[in-house]
Chain A
Amino acid sequence: MSNYDLILSRNSFLLGVELRIFWSVAFLYGLSTLIFLFHILTRRASAGKAAQVLLSVAVVLQAGLILLRTFEAGRAPFQTLYESLSWFAWSASLTYLYISSKWESVYLPGIFVSALSMGACLYALLSRSPAVEPLSPALQSYWFEWHVILAFFSYAVFVVAASVEGAYLIIRPFIKRGSAGGYGLTEGNIEDFHASAFKLVIFGFPFLTFAIFSGAAWANEAWGRYWSWDPKETWSLITWTVFTLYLHSKATPGLKGAPASAFNMLGFVCMMMTFLGVNWLAKLLGIPSLHIYAV
């Protein structure tokens, strides 16, 4: 075998290993989702704890997966959508584990994060190409790593904020009725728990602002125009606007409650649209959208 063939077969081998690990990670996220569901149904804290442990194992394994991919590609591992989906699942779960370590026996939001991470992994594995591609000229910039890492960091934080907001909206009526025992949330601590959603958005918002700003600076260097109203750019601005609405609502007496919560959840939906679904609405309405963003 020539040196050349050796490189090709080594790369094929590494990709095979990577895919097996990736499937195992997806499986662990799935299992963790099921055990979180079991926790919700049985109200057993031990189940919540077990799901959390499985989620941690998935995160550690996926950290190895991301390192392997970095080694295979010889660059930061978020050029293709396949790579970004993996990074998204990992950073969201890691952020969730960090935030939830501060709660005592509260596991409710976990199902949202683990299910989303599983979905992201399966989407990457089943629908995207795992081929390692060289970095295209437009991506060869010092902005590449910082813009993407900080954008995904804000995404991860917003995912956890949405999981808290969702859990709060669902459990609060039961707490009021006194029928929400076993979830670690009571009249006494539910508002503090809810406040962490606000804190998370406050934390993520400057990162999202930075991501949009650095994206514009990068576009200005690469394409000569800082803003082109490309669907991806526009969706990032929509996400930013909706989170601005959320923050304003929190400072407006008549909007602090349900409307603010709705804006937070909507912000999450817009964030997912920015990440994945930029042309989905146009397709749904049967409108030709000619600016397909390359992912």
Chain B
Amino acid sequence: MSISETIRPYILALKSKEGWKALSGWCYRKLSSIWTSVYVLGAMALLFVIGTIFPQGEDFGEYIKAGGRFIDLVGIFGLLDLFTSPLFLILALLLLANLIVCSYERYAALLSGRVFPKGFEPTHILSLTHDIPDAHIEVRRLLRERLGFRLLSKDGDWIVMEKGLSYRWLTWLYHAGIIACFLGFMLTYLFAFEDSITLAPNEAQTVAPSTNGRLQGLFHPKHGPTDFHLLLEDFSTEYSESPELDFPKDKTSRLAIGLGWSKPGYEMKPESLSVKDWRSRIKVVQGGKTLLEKTIEINDPLRFGGYTFYQEGYEQRLKIRVYDNPIPLEVKTDEDAFIPGLDATLKFGTFRTGALHRLDGSVEKIKPFAFVKLKTGEEKYEDIGKIDLGGFLDINGSRVTLVDAAESSVLSYRYDPGVAVLWWSGIFVLVTMSLRFFGGWYRLAYAIDEADSIVMLKLNLNSKGLGADPSRIVRRLERYLTMDDIRPFPLPPE
């Protein structure tokens, strides 16, 4: 049979209303099953693993250049952008649908009230001294007043009570919270966008939103620049001294240190500086009025007009004079720069300036400097030395003077309406999940009856949550029953 013949009956069935009904009924049943969530979560986990194997966000050409195999596979399934690929989106939507249908079904079940079985298997049996009606009154009183149980149902012979926060509701609530998290992810996916902006000192700049957000047009129909400006008032860097450790790589020498045969040693080199902080003092201005002023650094961004601005890094430009050329040359740090007067390519390292926190706790101003390297081949450099601001180095017989330096602050900015939704729903999930897992919930069903003229209290105790201790509940119940003369005192063992 050909494929078209195989699927024909199904297609025909879908032409009828009943066919559609049957199909949607089947989908709904599947979506309301916990088995589906097991399969979909499993498939998700596998996809995530694939996402950790292939470098995400990498350019396809770069991937091939770096020696990537599996080129066809990567191309067809979009493995370098797996988390925006249709395959991932379909799975995520399937999981969301599964979650929504399950939550709806369980919500309906929670509201409709629970029906308990007519009989429970007793987990504990206690004998009582009172007759059945009195025992009923007393046991109920003890359970309510002393142990804090509330009535759930008294259908049949068994009376069902519960204590603690209902775990069913808590489980339902955190599943519903996960749906809200999905909403946050969706808002991010559809509307978030980001870019970066370089601020030179004392030059006001507007933010011109880039157009990389998927549905950004809905929020920023004009794509125009913002009506406020950012002004960089000051940019500063702080360094701390970070001594280098002279430590062997081979395992035997390391063991020797462990045995105390040799010692590790720290030493301080001129280049042993590590960045402690970058700070930008930023003003938000509009029509000549300052709306906001803030010093930002990593982990302390600026929020304004729906945007968040982050300290990302800096850009440094050095002015150098080759020999006694009256026009200085401008070069960027950490980049190759061909110097015409020298006929050579130099690379100036990061221009160090600002405050230095020394090992002994003192803070001093750095005498500004940069390290210089000479390019000798593809990715090969030779160290030439350190150049101070205003100082010089003799390179290839010519004098190179560092005349001036300017720093700009690089900020990244982001607009993301999903964050707030995600935060609140995430906190909600955490709280409800913690209450469910760490809390304690009990369901106690009991029946009192008589056998051979002995009145018996039959208990069926069920509990959830780490805070629940069913044996303690039974012990307390036994103690109260005994104290109140409802239970015979246990005889000492013979």
Contact = CB atoms under 8 A, between A and B. Distances in A.
Interface in B36-82: 37-38, 41-42, 44-45, 48-49, 51-58, 62-63, 66-70, 82
B148 interface: no
Given A137-B298, A229-B56, A288-B67, A238 B48 contact: yes
B125 interface: no
A231 interface: yes
A50 B54 CA distance: 47
Interface stretch (B252-260, B367-375, B381-389): B252-260
Interface residues of B, number: 78
B35 interface: yes
Interface string A192-224: 000000010011011001100100111011111
Interface residues of A, number: 69
Contacts of B53: 281-282, 285, 287, 289
Contacts of A199: 466
Interface stretch (B130-138, B275-283, B454-462): B275-283
A20 B422 contact: no
B277 A287 contact: no
Nearest to B241: A134
Interface stretch (B149-157, B205-213, B216-224, B426-434): B426-434
A252 to B, nearest CB: 5
A205 B437 CA distance: 9
Name the prevailing secondary structure of the A interface residues.
Answer: helix
B48 A237 contact: yes
A291 B45 CA distance: 20
Given A221-B301, A224-B414, A252-B34, A241 B264 contact: no
Give the residue among B194, B277, B433 with the most A Cβ atoms within 10 A: B433
Interface string B293-324: 00001111100000010101000000000000
Interface in B99-150: none
Nearest to B359: A7
A125 B433 CA distance: 39
Contacts of A3: 360
B275 A229 contact: no
Contacts of B51: 229, 234
A8 B267 contact: yes
A252 B42 CA distance: 15
B166 interface: no
Given A126-B254, A134-B274, A210-B430, A16 B245 contact: no
Contact of B54 (A136, A138, A287): A287
B164 interface: no
A234 B83 CA distance: 11
Among B41, B45, B58, B422: residue with most chain A CB under 10 A: B45
B243 interface: yes
A226 B52 contact: no
Contacts of B242: 133-134
Given A16-B263, A206-B438, A210-B430, A11 B243 contact: yes
A23 B437 contact: no
Contacts of B194: 224-225
B276 A225 contact: no
Contacts of B62: 290
Nearest to A251: B34
24 contacts: A4-B359, A11-B266, A23-B255, A199-B466, A203-B466, A206-B430, A206-B433, A206-B437, A224-B301, A225-B194, A229-B57, A229-B82, A235-B52, A238-B45, A238-B48, A238-B52, A252-B34, A252-B35, A281-B49, A281-B52, A282-B52, A282-B55, A286-B67, A287-B53
Interface of B: 34-35, 37-38, 41-42, 44-45, 48-49, 51-58, 62-63, 66-70, 82-83, 188, 194, 240, 242-245, 247, 251, 254-255, 257-260, 263-268, 274-278, 297-301, 308, 310, 312, 359-360, 412-414, 416, 419, 422-423, 426, 429-430, 433-434, 437-438, 466
Interface of A: 3-4, 7-8, 11-13, 15-16, 19-20, 22-23, 125-126, 129-131, 133-134, 136-138, 140-141, 199, 202-203, 205-206, 209-210, 213, 216-218, 220-226, 229, 231, 234-235, 237-238, 241-242, 244-245, 248-249, 251-252, 254-255, 278, 281-282, 285-291
